[in-house]
Amino acid sequence: MFGFFLGLGLMCASALMYEIVLTRLLSVICWYYLAFVSVSMAMFGMTAGALLVQLRPALFEAGQVARRMAQAAFAMAVSMPIALVIMFAIPLDISFALQTLCSFLIFCSVIAVPFFFAGIVVCLSLTRTTAPIGRVYFADLAGAAAGCFGSLVLMSLIDAPSAVLAISALVFLSASFYAKFAGQPQIRRRCNVWAVVLMVLAGLNASTIHGIQPIWSKGRLDPRMDILYETWNPISRVRVVAPKMEEESVAPQSPPVWKEVMYIDIDNDAATGIYPYHGDLHDVDFLRSQVNSLGARIRAGGSAAIIGVGGGRDVMSCALFGFHRIVGIEINKTIADVFSRRMAWYSGFDKIPNFELHVDEGRSYLTRSHEKFDLIEATVVDTWAATAAGAMALTENSLYSLDGWRVFYDHLKPGGVIAFTRWNHKPDFHEATRLFSLAYATLLSEGVQHPGQHLALIGQLELATLLASNQPFTPQDLEKIRTTAKDFDYQILYLPGQDVTMLQLDPVLQAHSLQDLAALRSRNYFDLSPPTDASPYFFSFVRFHAIPGVLQIPGVNLRALFPLMYLAIFMFVALILVALTILWPARRWTRVRQDSRRAPPGAILYFIGIGLGFMLGEMGMMQQLSVFLGQPIYSLAVVLAGLILFAGLGSLASDRMPLNSATKSRAPALFSAVVLVAYSLAVLPAIHAAVGGVLWQRVVVSLGLVAPCGFIMGFCFPVGLRWASELGQEGNLPWMWALNGAASVLASFIAVAISTETSIRACVLTGAACYALGGLFLTRRSNSSLAPSATESEASAVKAS
């Protein structure tokens, strides 16, 4: 049995690793906020695979179970690299043509195939063997939890495509152990050979930049040329391209200058430039003319904290204006390594006077620090991909929330300035306007009576720099801003004592309270309210209800609607896949069985309710804790690991729970509703208290928040199955299971829609309401309690895994 347990542990670890690595690949191929697609497709594939075991029992007779597990594991290992190559060949972008739907349908089907085979293997392992169920559960949960964190380690060592090949090698090893359990030495030897081959291929692929890599990214072909260096880590793919000459504007009356720049490219869309520096600041003197240097100009000679060092433009600007202390904070360790070590001969960061570097998340670092600064600066910190797809990218949203800005405000010296630069594209000015709204709200929350006297908004071409001070700007400050604007042809969008030239700011300036600013969420077609940690979607300007009105605006940039269109298309594709491969087969099978009764409405509503409730809770936790942990992929790994482990323990504990009264039957679902409500109330105070901790401390706090929810929610599915069996509904169990799985798949999309339309707390509370309604629908017709049948144990086991 030792081989069986190793096979199961490796299978569960591999499935979770593949799911998490997919989120990194989706960030390169599509956009950051589509991480939930991998969660949804994993749920879809696992449900479909496990359902096949029930719908086709002849394929999985007792004497064939061990061999079928080995065969399904082998099929998963083979399908994984094939799915990888096909996935890279499918361009995903929005086009107003039917082919868009087809490409999304093919893409989702391809990435779900390995999960389908994993569902078969895990289902058979947990339900059709004679191994002690406690040990089987332990191997399942230990493997899954190890896979969540192992994926982060793997992506720290090799690139994501090579990681998929390495995971395939692990699945071949899993198949080898299953073959040993089945007494199939020939299959075992074949699996071992292929495991070695895939591991070698993973190493070879990781050693070259011209191996298996995404060729379509954000709808564009990637020629993969002029690459000096490329590497992946758990939060991004970083590429350095060969230097080129670019025209830089110095002043309206002066001719432009040509400067060499080497770009760091992040996930095939964002870019930050490194200028050659060899110790002579005159080489970068042209940076004085750029609008993002305005904060450094008016607080020259002070101390600065730069959030998002990138290629070092802001650091150089501070050096030009004689800052005696420059603290750079860069969240991406690879980017910091590029400019401080690998390309140090070009960047010259070691020659910048008074500069020190910290690899950390900006808000977390400042929360821990007791130092105060004359300037806190961030220039277009969003990896740009967030803006291009708009929306739901959570990587940097913690920097653009009221709670985050209050941290920045608290770390200013008297008269200190927060200087944030954002895009200010015509004909839409939503980023700059919302940034102004955020600063205005920060000042109101700090008790400032006249926030307008503390703010300035200055534009240059497609950028706008917002200056916010904890004291009113002095006449000297205002004169310096006016003079600089005249010298370099800036546009004064807002300055105290002058007429407002940017009319979009009027609703913000007319607000007298935080409630007035919050009302801007639905006042117009575009959300200009200040984001908070409860709804940290700075880049999401358009709500679903506003789409008809937005479409009627002349000249509107339709890319503002792309996030919602991505969400709608993926959800429609998921609905098609669920209907064709889960609901229709399960319903058809149920109808043709002679012993099947009609499923009671209460049972249908219960299983749909707990399916929706679990995923709405999980997705809400992922989104909220992403703000806390600093990266969506960290949140995914931590939340999945916590929920899998504790939901599985809850499922195990539920077997000891007697169901001899209606109250006891309803209790798990109702308690799940209560614990989700408690989580929604506790999460923000908890993460605000712990946001200054280092990463491992934040992980511990996150697991502490997730664990009670997972444990209680783990009771609901097996209790519902026992209840259905007690009512003689064994023939309808596949149908109930299918409804639960379908609800779970679609709930991930619904969760994102609810969170962005309202708040993350509303998403979690909606999940709590689904649990509560499900519990109320759970009625009893008998006082006898039955032990779970094999079918029940099968369903609850796979649901927990």
**Read out DSSP for 214-233?**
-SEETTEE----SEEEEEEE
Is residue 77 a contact partner of residue 171, using CB atoms and an 8 Å limit? Answer: yes
The C-alpha angle 337, 36, 363, rounded to 5 degrees, equals: 45
pLDDT tens figures, 431-485: 899 999 999 999 999 999 999 999 999 999 889 999 999 999 999 999 999 999 9
**Cα Rg, the chain, nearest whole Å:** 28
Tell me what the mean pLDDT of segment 498-510 comes to.
88
Cα–Cα distance, 192 to 77 (Å, whole number): 12
Rounded distance between C-alpha atoms, residue 110 and residue 37, angstroms: 13
Beta bridge partners of 236: 233
pLDDT tens track for 486-495: 999 999 999 9
**Which bin fits 544, alpha (ψ -120 to 50), beta or left (φ > 0)?**
alpha
Residue 129 has pLDDT above 90, yes or no: no
Q: Which residue in the block uniquely carries the two structure tokens 């935080």?
A: 514
Provide CB contacts within 8 A for 262, sequence distance 6+.
228, 240, 241, 242, 243, 273, 274, 275, 276, 311, 343, 346
- What are the structure tokens assigned to 509, written together? 């300036």
Cα(478)–Cα(241) distance, integer angstroms: 40
Q: Residue 61 has what pLDDT?
A: 86
Q: Which tokens go with 407?
A: 């941290």
| Cα–Cα distance, 467 to 465 (Å, whole number) | 7
- Which pLDDT value is given to residue 791? 42
pLDDT band at 788 (very low <50, low <70, confident <90, very high): very low
Q: What is the pLDDT of residue 786?
A: 37
Reply yes or no on whether the pLDDT at 382 is more than 80: no
When pLDDT is cut at 50, 70 and 90, the band that residue 98 belongs to is: confident
* Comparison of pLDDT for 799 and 98, the residue scoring more: 98
**Residue-level pLDDT at 481:** 96
Over 70: is that where the pLDDT of 581 sits?
yes
What's the pLDDT at 508? 94
Helix (H) or strand (E) holding 412: strand 412-423
The listed range with the strongest mean pLDDT (141-155, 715-729, 764-778) is 764-778
Q: At 452, list the tokens.
A: 């307008």
Residue 121 is which amino acid? Answer: V
Greater pLDDT, 730 or 356:
356
Amino acid letter, 174? S
Q: Is the pLDDT score of 67 beyond 50?
A: yes
> Residue 33 — pLDDT band, cuts 50, 70, 90?
low
Q: Which helix (H) or strand (E) holds 248?
A: strand 244-248
**Separation of alpha carbons 405 and 360, rounded Å:** 17
For residue 234, the SS3 value is coil
Q: What's the pLDDT band for 538 if we cut at 50, 70, 90? A: confident
pLDDT band for position 141 (cuts 50, 70, 90): confident
Question: What is the overall mean pLDDT for the chain?
Answer: 86
Tokens coding 94: 């929005």
527-556 average pLDDT score: 82
pLDDT of residue 544: 77
Whole-angstrom distance, CA of residue 659 vs CA of residue 720: 10
| 491-494, strands of its sheet edge to edge | 355-359, 325-330, 303-307, 373-379, 412-423, 463-469, 455-460, 491-494
Query: Rounded CA gap, 282 and 319, in Å?
Result: 11
User: Peptide bond before 427: cis, by omega within 30 degrees of 0?
Assistant: yes
Higher pLDDT, 737 or 93: 93
Reported confidence tier of residue 792, pLDDT bands at 50, 70, 90: very low
pLDDT for the residue numbered 635: 80
The burial of 176, by beta-carbon neighbours within 10 Å (0-12 exposed, 13-18 middle, 19 or more buried), is given as: buried
Contact 383, 32 (CB under 8 A): yes
Q: Is 137:648 a contact under the CB 8 Å cutoff?
A: yes
Lowest-pLDDT range, 52-66, 129-143, 632-646, 748-762? 129-143
Three-state secondary-structure class, residue 375: strand
Gap between the Cα atoms of 180 and 71, Å rounded:
12
The 10s digit of each residue's pLDDT in 224-267 is 989 999 999 888 899 999 999 988 776 666 677 889 999 999 88
DSSP conformation class of 542? B
Place 592 in a pLDDT band, splitting at 50, 70 and 90.
Answer: low
Distances (CA, A) of 92 to 18, 31, 106, 173: 20, 10, 10, 33
Tokens 């495509």 -> residue: 161
Look-up of token digits 């934040």: 698
Quickly tell me which residue has 């916590």 as its tokens. 642
- Please, what is the angle between helix 584-592 and helix 733-757, to 10°? 150
Give yes or no for residue 35 having a pLDDT over 90.
no
Which of 43-47, 133-137, 202-206 has the least mean pLDDT? 133-137
Provide the token pair at 588: 């058809």
Q: Is residue 386 scored above 50 in pLDDT?
A: no
Question: pLDDT-derived band of residue 796, with 50, 70 and 90 as boundaries?
Answer: very low
Where is pLDDT greater, at 441 or 549? 441
Rounded Cα distance, 475 and 385, in Å: 39
pTM strictly above 0.75: yes
Only one residue has tokens 């429609």, namely 572
* Cα 407 from chain centroid (whole Å): 23
Q: Is the pLDDT of residue 657 over 50?
A: yes
Helix axes 632-654, 2-29, angle to 10 degrees: 150
Are the C-beta atoms of residues 547 and 564 closer than 8 Å to each other?
yes
Quick one: which of 134, 136, 160, 116 has its CA closest to 15?
Answer: 116
**Model confidence pLDDT, tens digit, residues 675-731:** 999 999 999 999 999 988 888 888 999 999 999 999 999 888 888 877 777 777 666
How far is Cα 326 from Cα 347, in angstroms, rounded to an integer? 16
CA gap 13, 86 in Å, rounded: 23
Contact call for residues 333 and 311 (beta carbons, < 8 A) = no
3-state secondary structure of 459: strand
Separation CA 634–CA 331 (nearest Å): 13
User: Strand, coil or helix: what is 92?
Assistant: coil
Q: Which residue has the higher pLDDT, 62 or 116?
A: 116
CB 669 within 8 A of CB 732: no
pLDDT band at 300 (very low <50, low <70, confident <90, very high): very high
Report helix, strand or coil for 329.
Answer: strand
% of the chain residues with pLDDT over 90? 48
Q: Which residues contact 395 (CB under 8 A, 6 or more apart)?
A: 32, 235, 382, 383, 386, 626, 630, 631, 632
